[in-house]
Amino acid sequence: MESEIGGPLFKFVRNILAHFPLFETWDEVWASKELVNWQKEGLTIDRFLKKYAGHGEVKYRFWEEDKKRMTYMSIRFPEEYGNNKIHLKDMIEEKDGVKFSLIMMRQILNTQVESVGENV
């Protein structure tokens, strides 16, 4: 599951933070089925939580080129997806979530921009 979770997790974190800008810190961020589907059911956040709720913890790893080592982080999924509050901090720690998001954004940029890393 580790190989398939990266993209969907990145979209989930990004969409939670972008579409619900009412939180000031990582530890405050939460979602529920009612909040996520306030406008329409079946969008990205809803699909992610429906698919992964109840799954066991996943260890995600990535290579940090500048440190020449693998970094590991834990992704924990909610036991159930309903009108209960699902806190982002319970799924992924802030440090790991920010690092993961930056790595994913860098990978996207590396495939889209030819001059990444070059002096322009």
Per-residue model confidence as pLDDT tens digits over 66-91: 889 898 899 999 999 999 999 999 99
Tell whether the model's pLDDT for residue 32 goes beyond 80. yes
pLDDT of residue 1: 58
pLDDT of residue 104: 84
Amino acid at 26: W
Tell whether the model's pLDDT for residue 119 goes beyond 60. no
pLDDT band at residue 45 under the 50/70/90 scheme: very high
| Cα-to-chain-centroid distance, residue 37 | 18
User: For residue 78, what are the CA distances in angstroms to 42, 50, 106?
Assistant: 18, 10, 28
In three-state secondary structure terms, 73 is: strand
Average pLDDT across the chain, whole number:
88
Per-residue model confidence as pLDDT tens digits over 90-110: 999 999 999 888 888 888 887
Is the backbone of residue 56 left (phi > 0), alpha (psi -120 to 50) or beta?
beta
pLDDT of residue 117: 59
Task: Give the mean pLDDT of 12-22.
Answer: 91
